[in-house]
Amino acid sequence: MRLFLSHASEQRPDADRLAIALRARGHTVFLDSDDLPAGGDYQSRIEQAIASCDLFCFLISPQSVAPRRFTLSELSIARRRWPNPAGHVLPIMVDKVPIDDVPAYLRAVSILQPEGDMVAEALPCVEALRPKRSWPAWTPWAAGAAVIVLAGLMATYVVRQRRAAAVPASTASASPTATSESAGGLQIPALDKVRGTLVRFVAYMKSIGFTQADENVTVYLYSKESPLPGDLRNQSDTVNAFYYDHAVYVHWSMSADMSVFLREYTHHVLLDAAADGPIGSAASESALADYFPASFLGSSLIGESLGPLFNLRTSYIRRLDNSLTYTSVDDEAHARGQVWAAALWTCRQELGQATVDTIPVKAWLSVARATTNLEGAFGKALIAAAGPSASCLSREMNARKLPR
């Protein structure tokens, strides 16, 4: 990917470190003192570099946003190229600046405000903003999207949709067109990794108690250029991931993160176990869709480098090692689910994966068809299923004000 790195001279050490790290990962970086020969036409070279770059990185500092600094001229050139900066501009706060002093164009997107090392936190954000890529014409397709069929044919029995971690859940009325086309010849390494990991995840889900977990799920990777099938086609330019009707749909820009695929497959397992139970947009369902992939992968982060895609201030979408309480977050399934998942994650770290992972399975299977107060019923079921481990869960639920 081609990047233009805009910075004030006072931040040259930061710019150098970032450029070195980016180049080590195969990116092409335009850095003024490296790429502007003495006596050259600076203005023309800079305009050409910005016109040809894939991503414009702006290092925010008191100097870079000060009047009459050339960094603002570079920003103006970027603005002429991209009136909407989303997906094209990455502002990085390298030195604290009052938000009102930051140009409005930069405030229109999420500003990376590193909590630790700037370079370490910037790299995943850059990766998340890679341009959409088109795959060669020989790649097997179904309805225009790359497809993995884990086993069997796509069935039609679940008529619910679950959207990606950072997007509110909603119900879709349209049903995608089923396909029996196999992707056995698919040779894209990323998709081979998805297939292999999902097969192992199915085995893991069975081992912890979801004995009905199966491989009869189709995975679609889509983009505007490689559209969704059937009546879902009009959503093809939306960055998203969701489970719908025995299939997992993931936008290409999210395809590098395995937790996204596992999360949507988990919805398949949870909804299948609930049969026709009135799950709706349950926080407990979202919690388990976060927890099981996190436990399987051994990472507390969901969507580790995808935060910028959803204009979040963090590099990730959600993290399970948090201190949130049920009353401190929005009354929304993903937000409150993060609190449930954090309680489970804390006990997992304290008591071990083997001890904790089966507990929410037993709880879900006992209450998934509950008609009223699902969250309260789930809390009671967790304690009942925990046995000797109940003290940890009880402590966490009390501290986080979770219902039971």
More confident residue, 245 or 132: 245
Domains of the chain: 2-128 (3.40.50.10140), 135-275 (no CATH), 277-404 (1.10.390.10)
Residue 288 is which amino acid? L
Residue 187 is which amino acid? Q
Residue 138 binned pLDDT confidence (cut-offs 50, 70, 90): very low
> In angstroms, rounded to a whole number, what is the distance separating the alpha carbons of residues 233 and 58?
35
State the average pLDDT over residues 79-90: 88
What's the confidence (pLDDT) of residue 322? Answer: 92
- Whether 174 has a pLDDT exceeding 50, the answer reads no
Report the first-to-last Cα separation within the chain, whole angstroms.
Answer: 50
Burial class of residue 280 in the structure, from the number of CB atoms within 10 Å of its CB (0-12 exposed, 13-18 middle, 19+ buried): exposed
Residue 319 is which amino acid? R
Q: Which of 123-137, 187-201, 304-318 comes out lowest in average pLDDT?
A: 123-137
Q: Which of 60-69, 136-145, 281-290 comes out lowest in average pLDDT?
A: 136-145
Average pLDDT, the chain: 79
- Whether 139 has a pLDDT exceeding 60, the answer reads no
What's the confidence (pLDDT) of residue 49? Answer: 87
Q: Summarize pLDDT for 211-264 with one digit per residue, the tens.
A: 988 877 888 888 888 888 877 888 888 888 988 878 888 888 888 889 999 999
State the average pLDDT over residues 7-15: 91
Q: Which of 29-33, 46-50, 274-278 comes out lowest in average pLDDT?
A: 274-278
Helix-, strand-, coil-residue percentages of the chain, each rounded to 5: 45, 10, 45
Residue 132 binned pLDDT confidence (cut-offs 50, 70, 90): very low
What's the confidence (pLDDT) of residue 403? Answer: 87
Contact 309, 126 (CB under 8 A): no
Among 120-124, 194-198, 226-230, 342-346, top mean pLDDT goes to: 342-346
What's the confidence (pLDDT) of residue 225? Answer: 81
- Whether 338 has a pLDDT exceeding 80, the answer reads yes
State the average pLDDT over residues 41-61: 86
* Owner of token pair 């990962």: 25
Backbone angles phi and psi of 19, in degrees to 5: -60, -45
Q: Which of 4-8, 279-283, 393-397 comes out lowest in average pLDDT?
A: 279-283
